[in-house]
Amino acid sequence: MISTQERPAPALDRVPGAAAAAADREDLRRRVAGALTAFVDRQQARLTSVGTETGELAGALRELLGGGKRLRPAFGYWGWRGAGMPDDDRVVTAVAALELFQACAIIHDDVMDHSETRRGRPSVHRRFGRLHGVAGWRGDGDSFGTGAAILLGDLCLAWTDEMFFGSGLEAARLQRARPLFDEMRTELMGGQYLDLLEQAIGGGSVVGARRVIQYKSARYSVMRPLQLGAALAGAERPLLAGYEAYGLALGEAFQLRDDVLGVFGDPVETGKPAGDDLREGKRTVLVALAGRSSSAAQGRLLERHLGDPGLDDDGVATVREIIVATGALAEVERMIRTCTEQAVAALAASPVDPCAEVALHELAAAATVRRF
């Protein structure tokens, strides 16, 4: 399966120990960032030829791409390596494109949720809204911000396939990854729509919340990136199935951890004001479990506070107490542990190349850590 055309780089092309793995992880993040910077530079030049006033678009994107954990590119990269392939700059470029897709999802999501901040800074639509205000332009600043954010998200989405399929990998490899690539995009948008419906209908069921997790998070953030890497490598069915089992379980664990952080997390780490998920009325598994086990009085309080944009610190504290008192928090922590164990077991049963095992184990461990 190893083509001689791919040039192994010494830094990553060995079975890493735990210490070396951390250095490799940092190295991969740097390389992904480098690929993104080079790509955005080219796009900025192209936009400038349309009009020099477009500079703010690339500026906002650069700022957004500066943050983030680069989780999806990491899974994509290790999906490729786990199929027994050597390190390859072109694969790093291809998986870096997943950050552009994520940028589109984030930018449009923040418009849809009216989120003020992202990763500790103003969200893109707020950034452009402020630009409008500072410049004293005519018309409504919020509308201008929304318009600019919709367009920048669209650019990111168009650039995702441009970067992925322009990575320089052989056409046959890209061709094999195409169905998964298409599947991933439609799945995510479909999952986002279900999420929107779930909030509108207010179903609040644990089953409904878990289905949203599967499409918005597990498949999109873990399973599909791993499988994309494997498909580029030309991997066979057993490895793709192993990645599916590992990815679905671990992706659920990640999202459940994220939901816990959204309610109990440190704003410094989450980059969002404490309790923002509660103000948005997110129908998470954590909230659904609390609703299911709450007394009538607790239920009324939850109903009143969830989705209240003006929810203050006392309100946030009240909801937190209910989530702890009903046992919902303990239950979600149990679920995270179980999912992570399932992921690790699936990995052990898969024909994954040893060079990727340490990295994939470490990525699994990261989900179980309580960070508050």
Residue 210: CB minimum distance to its own copies, A: 12
Upper half-sphere CA count for residue 117 (Cβ side, 13 Å): 13
Nearest to its own copies of 139, 354 (CB atom) = 139
> Would you give the distance in Å from CA 39 to the centre of its chain?
20
Q: Which tokens sit at 145?
A: 């911000």
Give the amino acid at 233. A
Nearest to its own copies of 211, 361 (CB atom) = 211
The three-state (H, E, C) secondary structure of 241-261, written as one string: HHHHHHHHHHHHHHHHHHHHH
β-partners of residue 90 are none
Closest-CA residue to 196 (of 215, 222, 218, 224): 215
- Residues interacting with its own copies, by CB under 8 A? 43, 46-47, 50-51, 53-54, 57, 104, 108, 111-112, 114, 132, 135, 137-139, 143-144, 146-148, 150-151, 153-155, 157-159, 161-162, 165-166, 171, 175, 178, 182-183, 185-187, 189-194, 196-197, 199-202, 211, 215, 281, 307
Give the amino acid at 353. D
Residue 188: CB minimum distance to its own copies, A: 9
Residue 275: CB minimum distance to its own copies, A: 18
Nearest to its own copies of 12, 58 (CB atom) = 58
Burial (Cβ within 10 Å: 0-12, 13-18, ≥19) of residue 20? middle
Nearest to its own copies of 40, 344 (CB atom) = 40
Residue with tokens 């990575």: 167
Contact yes or no for 335/65 (Cβ under 8 A): no
First to last CA, the chain: 44
Nearest to its own copies of 24, 110 (CB atom) = 110
Residue 346: CB minimum distance to its own copies, A: 22
Residue 183: CB minimum distance to its own copies, A: 7
Kindly provide the residue ranges of all beta strands, DSSP E only, lying in the chain, ordered along the sequence.
117-118, 121-122
β-partners of residue 118 are 121
Residue 10: CB minimum distance to its own copies, A: 32
Nearest to its own copies of 153, 262 (CB atom) = 153
Contact yes or no for 337/368 (Cβ under 8 A): yes
Return the C-alpha torsion angle 351, 352, 355, 361, nearest 10.
-130
> Would you give the distance in Å from CA 155 to the centre of its chain?
18
Nearest to its own copies of 112, 345 (CB atom) = 112
Kindly provide the residue ranges of all beta strands, DSSP E only, lying in 97-225, ordered along the sequence.
117-118, 121-122
Nearest to its own copies of 92, 184 (CB atom) = 184
Residue 109: CB minimum distance to its own copies, A: 9
Q: Which tokens sit at 44?
A: 């900025």
Nearest to its own copies of 15, 196 (CB atom) = 196
Residue 361: CB minimum distance to its own copies, A: 30
Residue 325: CB minimum distance to its own copies, A: 25
Longest dimension (CA), the chain: 67
